[in-house]
Structure 1
């Protein structure tokens, strides 16, 4: 069961509201805005986590960012190579 909802009144520029309504599809504007706000909360939480980590361990270097991106890329490629229906050849 999902969380109970409550009705809110918000203000936003007309062009943004119209673009959101046009993209919201069958789920509607409320679901579209809810998803956007949820994504922003996730980003805010991540930014706070990064700030705490950097305060404790120092700033993240470009080399660390590049190494992490490369690791994610390799992991993604490995998962793609072993997706269901493909033979695992050793």
Structure 2
């Protein structure tokens, strides 16, 4: 069963709304916008988590960031190679 929904009225620049409508596909503009907002909330939460971790442990160096990116790329490649959908 899907989550309950509620109708909202939002205002956004026309060019953004039209681009979103053009890309929304069969699921429609509302689903497209809801997915975009959900992704932004995830990014905001991650940003907050990073800020807390850096306040406690100090800033992350560019080298550490690159090490984690490499690790994620390898893990992503291994999942694809095993037939598991990594998306």
TM-score norm. by structure 1 comes to 0.85
Match of 2:5 in 1: 5
Quick check: 1:19 aligned with 2:37?
no
The 4+ residue runs of structure 1 with deviation greater than 6 A are none
Change in Cα spacing, 1:51 to 1:31, as seen in structure 2 (3 Å) is same
Matched positions, count: 83
Shift of residue 53, structure 1, vs aligned partner: 0.3
Match of 1:61 in 2: 61
TM-score norm. by structure 2 comes to 0.87
Change in Cα spacing, 1:16 to 1:72, as seen in structure 2 (3 Å) is same
Q: Distance in 2 between matches of 1:80 and 1:16?
A: 33
- Give the aligned CA root-mean-square deviation in angstroms: 1.2
Structure with greater Cα Rg: 1
